[in-house]
Structure 1
Amino acid sequence: MRGFMKKALATAALLAMTAGAQAKETVVWWDFLSGGDGVRMKALLDQFNKENPDIEIQATTLEWGVPFYTKVQTSAAVGEGPDVMTYHLSRLPLGVSTGTLRELTPDELKAAGFSGDNYAPANWKAAQVDGKQYAIPFDIHSIILYYNKDLLKKAGLLGDDGLPKGLDGAANFEAALKTLTTGPDQVGLSIPTADNGTTWRVFYTLLAQQGGSFINDGKVLDGDNADKATKALAEMAKWTTEGWVPKQTEYPASIALFTSGKAAMHINGVWEVPTMTDLAKSGKLGFEWGAIQIPVLFDQPATWADSHSFAVPNRKGKEISPEKLKAVLTVIKWMNEHSIFWATAGHIPAYLPVTDSDEFKKMLPNAIYSTLAKTATFDPSSTIAGVASPIYEAASNYFMPAFNGDGAPADAISAAKDELQGLLQ
């Protein structure tokens, strides 16, 4: 009898353990994050799995850009793919138009503790298409102006607070570039002028600073927006033709110009902040550096921005269960609440309780340029816009040559307008 009881108890214990194991929810995760972003996300994923024994994230990293979005679309169409994935908000309209993304209903968001009040208005709106929520923002990433404090101070362009002065207004900015360009080995500004992404971001920033709009009611650069676009591109072209910004500069070379002290300033994404931080810590930078929001060259503050976000695929015939969705939203909420670590990659956390925290306010230079979140201008909400989109191709084919002094800005704008309008018809 005693042996029977021991067996029964052992069986019961085994069944209890099995039930416990089965109760653990598995969340399949896809992302496109590499480099410093990838390292940081891996750390967050590991931390989540340690702190949440009832949910296990099984993560896979895929190739950034078109390959990622193509795989997501094709897998969702046949009922496969992840439970949750990273997604650029700029790609949201295209994802919705192809039926790739699942709506997150107001009731589902409310039950999970999400509120738009905890996000910058423009960022929360960018996560919507036609008023419906399809993603939860994780960060705001934008272009910023990196600067060499030593060179700006020497030129009388650095305030007592360590921030640049006298850069607002196109005329002032041009004067600063001229002053800071002292010869072939010392230019005022380096930009990846051979990179279509950077070209688009700078152009879109200057267009938005004029109150311009790229797409309105299905029309590309309609009305006076074409004139504003031409003005933006002409300003950029002036920088290169005057010799203040080197032409045809590849992305790595552009960074090298700044880090070697051969360019007094540098325009690039916030994602290069770790590059500068690491070089400074290792003593390889050779000067004090800082970073601020892009100066206001025209009528109003505005900066191109995008967001890494989290979205749920709309898997045909294999829709996510309520239990799985609850686990997914738990993961997303945890990521938002722990996004102070993500900020070490240069990003501005989307979750306001984090950016409003004392810890973030002490994080430099992020806290300085985080003001751009209030005037961030996201890509047009269109199926032809966003990362690796036809707009980026147009930037490569038309804007980039004009930026480098090859062709008239007005002709480039006209050609891009005609091509992109054709894609919308």
Structure 2
Amino acid sequence: MQQPSPSRRSVLAGLGALAAAGTLGTAASGCAAPAAGAGRTRLRYWHLFGGGDGVNMQSMLDAYSAAHPDIALDAVTLQWGAPYYTKLGMAGAGGRAPEVAALHLARLPGFAPGRLLDPFDVDLLADAGVRPEHFPEEIWRRGAVDGEQYAVPLDTHPMVLYFNTEICAKAGLLENGKKLKPAGSAQEFTDVLRAVKKTTGQPPIAFESTGADTIGPWRLFSTFYSQTGGTILSPDATRITIDDTKALRVLDWLKSLMDDGLAVRNLDYNGGVSTFNLGKTAFLLNGEWEVSSFLTTELPFSMTRIPALFGSASTQADCHSFVLPHQAGRGGASNEAAHRFVAWMLQHTVEWAKGGHVPAYLPTLEKPAYLELKPQSEYRSVVDDVALDPPAWFAGSASSMWLELGAVFSGVLTGSRTPRGALAEAKDRLQRLLDTPDPFGGVA
């Protein structure tokens, strides 16, 4: 789910702390865990899930513990964002980390696989019933570095389109009374918005456009720019590859939504959620994790994939994943338990999907219990079309790239920057990030 964005200073400070941790060696350590007890194997798990995600994760952990009385599970929830990654990196640098932890997949390149993380034993995973073919190929591939599997994806959490079913029905936009009629281009979607505005007299769509440390504008740009087939960085993340024509096409369109009164102006993250939740708009562009908010308030709504407005049907996303933080002398019963824990969690992700995330473990997507989840299962096909950040150390959830580019593209939405000026500034900021040495010194 969305968490309060850390300040730019805190993110960069966190990276600096990790860099220092890489030189401190065994001086950095993980948290102490209680003794496992006679005949029980100790298994420590760190994660950063709060809010609705935290509730669903705890439900899964309780079920795991009940099914594995021989495992002494010590699960710890740490503060989301830079504080979490700083602590996890320091624990890995000291070689005294927990047996397993959560990590955003797009942050893997900046987490020094081979130094701060240990690779999975894919044979142990296979013995527990989890194999590479159980995942979308691209998502599984992003967890690999130099032929070793360092991350096993738990889910993908993409941008989606929420829609108010009552408003859309009045505007004649629904098929069979439930599903939103498709729009195949930016012009077609603009026409849909105009039709809704004619019905309601109000701006028909809401999304995050401003606020302290805003990242929503980056997510919007990334979604629609990815649909054009454009890229941000080269495959090795060493040079900028932005296509100006494609980028300006997206930025000009986003600006037009504001200029034409089709989007609510100057909304921070909570303002966007609240505006849609109060029934003031027909649509909301946001991450799927807000599904719990709207189910709680019994809003008449549903969800669907963001339509393919600029070519392909891709959408900005990241993935929660499991990793093995570096331990000196990793192995034995605790390491085997870590692998079996990951497999068990993946095989029980119907519970996790209740919070909106699309399970990365493909067999879950065919389970009747998952298909019965509405509207969570309505956009499940997006798992094959997610646009992850480029593999750079400064990218991924809660990263400096999100904050830097979110601030720049916010100006396009609020009117303080022109699309062309914002694009030039975005390139300048990206180049500064590229010129900044990787705090970890690259993959060990």
Residue 370 of structure 2 aligns with an amino acid whose one-letter code is F
Residue 220 (structure 1) shift: 4.5
Residue number among 301, 311, 325 corresponding to 2:323 in the alignment: 311
Q: Which moved more, 1:331-340 or 1:112-121?
A: 112-121
> In structure 2, what is the Cα distance between the partners aligned to 1:276 and 1:401?
29
Query: 1:185 touches 1:262 (CA, 8 Å); kept in 2?
Result: no
How far apart in 2 are the matches of 1:239 and 1:358?
A: 39
Q: Which residue of 2 aligns with 1:15?
A: none
- Pairwise CA distance, 1:26: 1.0
Deviation per residue, 1:313-335 (Å, 9 max, x gap):
113xx232232110001111110
Q: Could you say which residue in structure 2 is the equivalent of 1:356? A: 366
Q: Does 1:289 align with 2:305?
A: no
Q: State the Cα deviation string for residues 127-154 of structure 1 (Å, max 9, x = none).
A: 2234431111111111110101111121
Closer, same or farther in 2 for the Cα pair 1:221/1:241, shift >3 Å? farther
1:401 and 2:411 correspond: yes
CA-CA distance at 1:69 after TM superposition: 0.5
Distance 2:290 2:405 in 1: 22
Matched, 1:370 2:388: no
Q: Does the CA-based 8 Å contact 2:240-2:430 persist in structure 1?
A: no
Alignment-derived partner of residue 237 in structure 2 = 218
Q: What displacement does 1:246 show?
A: 1.7
Residue 104 of structure 1 corresponds to 120
Asked if the contact 1:220–1:417 (Cα under 8 Å) also holds between the matched residues in 2, the reply is no
User: Which sections of structure 2, spanning at least 5 residues, go unmatched?
Assistant: 1-35, 436-444
Which residue of the other structure, out of 381, 390, 408, is the alignment partner of 2:400? 390
Query: Which residue in 1 is equivalent to 2:18?
Result: none
Partner of 1:414: 424
Structure 2 contact 316–388 (Cα < 8 Å) conserved: yes
1:324-360: CA deviation from partner (whole Å, max 9, x where unpaired)? 1100011111101111011111111111111111221
Matched, 1:150 2:166: yes
Among 341, 347, 351, the alignment partner of 1:341 is: 351
Describe the shift of the 1:96–1:72 C-alpha distance in structure 2 as closer, same or farther (beyond 3 A): same
- Native 8 Å contact 1:390 1:420 kept in 2: no
Q: Distance in 1 between matches of 2:351 and 2:429?
A: 42
Q: Alignment partner for residue 181 of structure 1, among 197, 200, 205?
A: 197
In structure 2, the CA distance between the partners of 1:132 and 1:409, relative to structure 1 (3 Å rule), is: farther
Contact 1:179 1:188 in 2 (8 A): no
Give a deviation string over 1:29-72, Cα, whole Å, max 9, x none.
11101001001111111111111011121011111011100111
Q: Check whether the contact 1:247–1:404 (CA below 8 A) recurs between aligned residues.
A: yes
2:219 match:
201
Q: Secondary structure at the match of 1:181?
A: helix
Partner of residue 29, structure 1: 45
Structure 1 gap ranges (5+): 1-19
Query: Cα distance, 1:126 vs. partner?
Result: 2.3
Contact 1:220 1:420 in 2 (8 A): no
How far apart are 1:394 and its partner, in Å?
1.9
Q: Cα offset for 1:258?
A: 0.9
Match of 2:67 in 1: 51
Instruction: Give the whole-Å Cα distance in 2 for the aligned partners of 1:337 and 1:25.
Output: 21
Which amino acid counterpart does residue 381 of structure 2 have in structure 1? T
Structure 1 position 272 matched with structure 2 position 282: no
1:122 Cα deviation from its structure 2 partner? 2.1
Q: Assess if the C-alpha contact under 8 Å between 1:146 and 1:289 holds in 2.
A: yes
Q: State the Cα deviation string for residues 351-371 of structure 1 (Å, max 9, x = none).
A: 111111122122211221111
Pairwise CA distance, 1:269:
0.9
Tell me how far apart the structure 1 counterparts of residues 226 and 289 of structure 2 sit (CA, whole Å): 22
Change in 2 beyond 3 A, CA 1:62/1:187:
same
Letter in 1 for 2:413: F
Report the Cα offset of residue 227 of structure 1: 2.4
Contact 1:291 1:365 in 2 (8 A): yes
Answer yes or no: is 1:301 the counterpart of 2:313: yes
Alignment partners' CA distance in 1, 2:344 and 2:284: 34
Partner of 1:91: 107
RMSD over equivalenced CA pairs, Å: 2.0
Aligned partners of 2:114, 2:426: CA distance in 1, in Å?
A: 24
**Structure 1 range deviating more: 82-91 or 392-401:** 392-401
Which deviates further from its counterpart, 304-313 or 178-187?
Answer: 178-187
**Displacement of 1:161 after TM fit?**
4.9
For 1:269 and 1:325, the matched residues in 2 are separated by 34
Q: TM-score, with normalisation over the residues of structure 1?
A: 0.88
What displacement does 1:185 show?
7.0
Measured after TM superposition, the shift of residue 178 of structure 1 is 2.0
Which residue of the partner structure matches residue 27 of structure 2? none
Q: What is the CA-CA distance between 1:272 and the residue it aligns to?
A: 0.7
SS for the counterpart of 1:411 is helix
Contact kept in structure 1, 2:182 and 2:307, CA below 8 Å: no
Query: Could you tell me how far 1:21 is from its partner in structure 2?
Result: 4.2
Distance in 2, Cα, partners of 1:267 & 1:98: 37
